[in-house]
Amino acid sequence: MKTSVESCQKEWKRMVIPNESLPFHDGMMKTEMFRPWDYSFRLALWVVPGVVERVLRRFDREPSYRKIFILTRESYAAYT
């Protein structure tokens, strides 16, 4: 008899994406305490959000502060 975990492994495709490396997260937390940097970063997010996003994506690697899990049903993945 199959367990529910075994059946889920066959039915679902899993993708894990690291998000925000530990050293980068630690540095960001420290720099957010410095008001001029915090205001500059918020201004950049407001004025050029696409550029900020591309720069921040360069820091998505292991070891990561958090992970994003994307689960897709195999039968659905065949249609996309």
Residue 14's pLDDT band, with cuts at 50, 70 and 90, is: confident
Q: Is residue 27 included in any domain, yes or no? A: yes
Q: Please name the residues in contact with 25: beta carbons below 8 A apart, sequence gap of 6 or more.
A: 65
pLDDT digits (tens, 9 = 90+) for 18-71: 888 999 889 888 888 999 988 999 999 999 999 999 998 888 888 888 899 898
Q: Is residue 72 included in any domain, yes or no? A: yes
Q: Is residue 3 included in any domain, yes or no? A: no
Comparing CA positions, the residue from 4, 19, 17 lying closest to residue 71 is 17
Q: Do 70 and 14 contact (CB within 8 A), yes or no? A: yes
Q: Is residue 28 included in any domain, yes or no? A: yes
pLDDT digits (tens, 9 = 90+) for 33-43: 999 988 999 99
Measured CA to CA, the distance from residue 76 to residue 11 in angstroms comes to: 10
Higher pLDDT: 51 or 77? It is 51
Measured CA to CA, the distance from residue 39 to residue 32 in angstroms comes to: 9
Q: 34 is in which domain, residue-wise?
A: 23-77
